[in-house]
Amino acid sequence: MDTAVNAHVISFLTSLAIGLLIGVERERAGSAIGVRTFSLITLFGTVSALIGQSSGTPWFLPAALLAVVGIAVFNPRDVEDGKSGGATTRVAIGICFSLGAMVWLGHGQYAVMLAVASAALLNFKTELRGLSERITSRDMVSILQFAALSFIVLPVLPKTGYGPYNTLNPHHIWLMVVLISGLSLAGYLAMRWAGDRFGPPLLGLLGGMVSSTATTLVYARHARQTPSLASLSVFVILMANLIVPLRLGLIVFAVTPNLISSLWPVLLGNVVAGGLAILFWWHTLRTGDPLPLPEVTNPTELKTAITFGAMYAVILMLASWLSDLAGTRGLYLASTVSGLTELDAIVLSTLRLFDGGKLEAVQAANAIGLAIISNLCFKTGLLAWVAGRSFLLRSLPGMLAIALGLGAGIWIIN
C-alpha cells in the first residue's frame, strides 16, 4: 500500500512540476493565463485519467479534455488588454492537460521530456521566427527534397540483392544516398545561413563537410585573382581538407561503428599533422576582404542523388570484383583510382565489403586511408592547374603534412 501511495504522490508532483514549468513560461511571455491555471490544468488531466481508469469509464478522460479545450477557446481572458497568448496559449492548455493524463497512465518519463520540449518551443519564439525568416525558397526546396529521398523513396525500395556478388541492393544503396545527402545538406544549409560572418575557420569546416573539391577549386581561383589573399585561401583549403577524413569518420561510425577502433590512427594522424599546419597558417594571416562562399550544388537534388547512387553501385561492384580477383591488392587499386574523384562511394563500398566478412578491419582501414590520400593528391594537382606554381608551393607543405599524418596512421595500424 505504501508503495502505491508513494507512486501516486510522485505522479501528482510530476504533473504539478510540468504545469509550473509551462505556466511560468506563459506568464513571463505576458499571457493572462499563467502559473496557477496551467498547474491546475495539468493536475486536472492527472485526476481525470485516475477517475476514468478507476471507474471503468474510458470516455471520462476525452470528455474532460473537450471541456478544458472548450473553456480555453471561448475564454477571452488570454487576449484581453493586449496581452499575448491567443492560439499558442490555447494549444499549450490542451498539451498540459494531456501531459498530466500521460503521467497517471504510466508515461511520466515521456511526459516530462515533452514538457521540456514544449517549454523550449514556447520560450524561443523570437529565435524560431528569425530562423523561419532566414529560410529561403531554395532552402525549403532542399529540405523537401531530402524528406522525399528519405520518407518516400527509401521505404518502397526492395531489400534484396541483385547482380554480380548480390551487391545491387536498392534499399541499401539508397540508404547510403540518404546518409550522404543528409550530412551534406546539414553543411550546405549551415554554409548558406552562416555565410562568411564567422570567418575562414567556419568556411573551411563547412566547405569540407559539403565539398572539399569545390572549396579547393573556388579558393585556388580566388588566390589567383587576388594574390594578397593567397594566405587566407591556403588556410581555408587546408581546413577543408583536414575536415574530410573526420567527415568520413562520422560516416564510418554511423554505418560500421566497430571499424573505428582500427581507423582511429588514420584520423588522429590527420588531425595532429594537419592541425599543426593549419595553426601555422592561422598565425600568418592578415585581415583582408571577405572570402566568397564556394559554389556547391544542392546535395539533395534528385539528379545529384541518382548520380551518387549509380556511382556507389558501380564502385561497389568494381571493388567486389577486384577484391575477388586480386585480393586486397585489387581493393587497394580500386580505392586509389576511385578516391581521385569520389571518396564517399569507395568508403561506403569498403564498409559494405567489411560488413559482409570479405575484408578484415585493418584491410578496410587501409583502403579508406589510401582513398583519402589519393583524393588529396588529386586536389594538390588541382591547385597547380588552377592557381599556378607559386600558390602550389605555398599550399604544398600543409597538404603534405595532412598526407604524412594519414600515411603515419596507416603505418601504425599495419
In which band, very low, low, confident or very high, does the pLDDT at 89 lie, cut at 50, 70 and 90? confident
Identify the band that residue 1 occupies on the pLDDT scale cut at 50, 70 and 90.
very low
Confidence of residue 121 (pLDDT cuts 50, 70, 90): confident
Angle, CA of 76, 77 and 78, to the nearest 5°: 95
* 281-307 residue pLDDT tens: 777 765 555 555 565 566 667 777 777
- Measured CA to CA, the distance from residue 272 to residue 268 in angstroms comes to 6
CA 115 to each of CA 39, 244, 293, 373: distance values in angstroms, whole numbers, following the listed order: 12, 39, 40, 49
In degrees and rounded to multiples of 5, residue 162 shows phi and psi of -130, 170
Q: Tell me the residue type at 222.
A: H
> Contact, 280 vs 395, CB < 8 A?
no
Task: Please state, for a pLDDT cut of 90, what percent of the chain lies above it.
Answer: 5
| Mean pLDDT along residues 209-231 | 78
E strand intervals along 248-330 = none
**pLDDT band for position 84 (50/70/90)?**
very low
**Mind listing the pLDDT tens digit for each residue in 341-354?**
778 888 888 888 88
What average pLDDT does the segment 17-21 reach? 91
Bigger pLDDT: 181 vs 25: 25
pLDDT digits (tens, 9 = 90+) for 240-259: 888 888 888 888 888 888 89
The residue ranking higher by pLDDT, 298 or 355, is: 355
User: What ranges do the domains of the chain cover?
Assistant: 2-130, 136-413
Of 48, 20, 12, 21, nearest in space to 36 by CA: 20
High-pLDDT (> 70) share of the chain, %: 85
122 burial type by CB count under 10 A (0-12 exposed, 13-18 middle, 19+ buried): buried
**What pLDDT, in 10s, does the model give residues 41-53?**
999 999 999 898 8
State pTM to two decimals.
0.62
Which residues, 6 or more positions from 94, have their beta carbon under 8 angstroms from its beta carbon? 65, 68, 69, 72
Integer CA distances (angstroms), 168 to 115, 173, 364, 393, in order: 45, 7, 20, 44
Can you give the pLDDT at residue 97?
Answer: 92
pLDDT at res. 99: 92
pLDDT at 340 over 80: no
Cβ partners under 8 Å of residue 399, min gap 6: 238, 241, 376, 379, 380, 383
**How many Cα atoms are found within 13 Å in the side-chain-facing hemisphere of 114?**
19
Average confidence score pLDDT of the chain: 80
What average pLDDT score do residues 66-72 get? 81
